[in-house]
Structures are given as C-alpha cells and as structure tokens.
Structure 1
Amino acid sequence: MSIPANALSDEECLHYAALDPAAAAELTRRFTSQSIDPSAEREELREDIRRLESQASDDEDELENLRDGAAEACQWIKRAMDPDDRELSLNELLQKSARLPGVMP
C-alpha cells in the first residue's frame, strides 16, 4: 500500500521521499512547480538551530547555577554535621542550605 503522496504536507513529503517512490515523485513535482522553496526550508532549519542553541545555552547556565547552589548547600550541611563548627546553630546551618537556588522547591 502506497502513501497518498499528494495528501502529504511539504515536511512529510521531504521525510517520506527516501522511503516511498510516490512521495519522491510528489516531492520532485513540488520542486519543479516551485511550490516548495528550498531556501525557505533551509532558513526555517537555521532558525530552529539558532533557537535550539540558545535554549541549550540557557539550560547550561541554569545547570551551572544549580551545581553552584548544590555545592554551597553541601558545604553548609557539612558544617552542620561538624560538632566543632558551631558558630551557627544546626537549624541555622540547615536553613541556609535549604534557601539556596535549586536545592529546595
């Protein structure tokens, strides 16, 4: 059973062209009739790449902030567990560790 190639969206047509001869023929027809603009498709992909790179950068920044907060929380917790380090009470030390970003919701 063949894919109804004329019913495919441009994106689906691009995807299925390598898998189905009817989709490949439909893709060729659309290219030759100029109903698909390859440069517009390329620009959309570039925009997607820029968006994904930006999101990855934002995620990396957030992850670094979470790591920093977790490391600082660990230091406060270690101080809370050290009986020789009692400049602050146990509750104060644990509260400081819990207030750090990314440690407690």
Structure 2
Amino acid sequence: MSIPANALSDEECLHYAALDPAATAELTRRLTSQSIDPSAEREELREDIRRLESQASDDEDELENLRDDATEACEWIKRAMDPEDRELSLNALLQKALDRLE
C-alpha cells in the first residue's frame, strides 16, 4: 500500500521520499514546479539547529548546576556524619544539605 503522496506536507514529503517511490515522485514534482523552496527548507533547518544547540547549552549549564548542588549537599551530609565537626548542629547541617538538593 502506497502513501497518498499528493496529500503529504512538504516536510512529510521530504521525509518519506527515501522510503516510498510515490513520495519521491511527488517531491521531484514539487521541486521542479518550485512549490518547495530548498533554500527556505535549509534556513528552517539551520534555525532548528541553532535552537537545539542553544537548548543543549542551557541543559548542559543546568546539569552542571545540579552536579554542583549535589556535591555541596554531599559535603554537608559528610560534615553532619562527622562527630568531631560540630560547628553547626546536626539539624543545621542536614538543612543546608536539603536546601542544596531542593
């Protein structure tokens, strides 16, 4: 059963062209009739790449902050477990650890 290629959006047509001969023919027809602008598609892809790179950078920063907070929480917990380190009360040390994890 073939895909109804003429009903595909331009994006779907680009995707299915490698999978279905009817979609390939439809893509060829659209390109030759200039109903698909390859440079516009390319620019959209570039925008998607920029957006994804920005999101990846933001996610990396957030992950680094979470690692830092977890490391600091571990230090507070270690201090709470050390009977010789009673600069702060046990509850105060554990509260500091909890604050870093929240």
Instruction: Name the TM-score, length of structure 1 as normaliser.
Output: 0.90
Secondary structure class of the residue paired with 2:71: helix
Match of 1:10 in 2: 10
Percent of aligned positions that are identical:
91
**1:52 to partner: Cα distance:** 0.4
Alpha-carbon RMSD across the aligned residues, in angstroms, is 0.8
Residue 40 of structure 2 aligns to a residue whose secondary structure is helix
- The structure richer in helix per residue is 2
Comparing 13-22 with 49-58, greater Cα deviation is found at: 13-22
Deviations 1:44-101 (A, max 9, x none): 00000000000000001011111111111100100000000001000000011xxxxx
> Once the 2 structures are TM-superposed, how far is the Cα of residue 2 of structure 1 from its aligned partner?
1.3
Unpaired segments ≥5 residues, structure 2: none
TM-score by length of 2: 0.93
> CA deviation digits over 1:13-32, x for unaligned, max 9?
11111111111111000001
**Count of matched residue positions in the alignment of Structure 1 and Structure 2:** 98
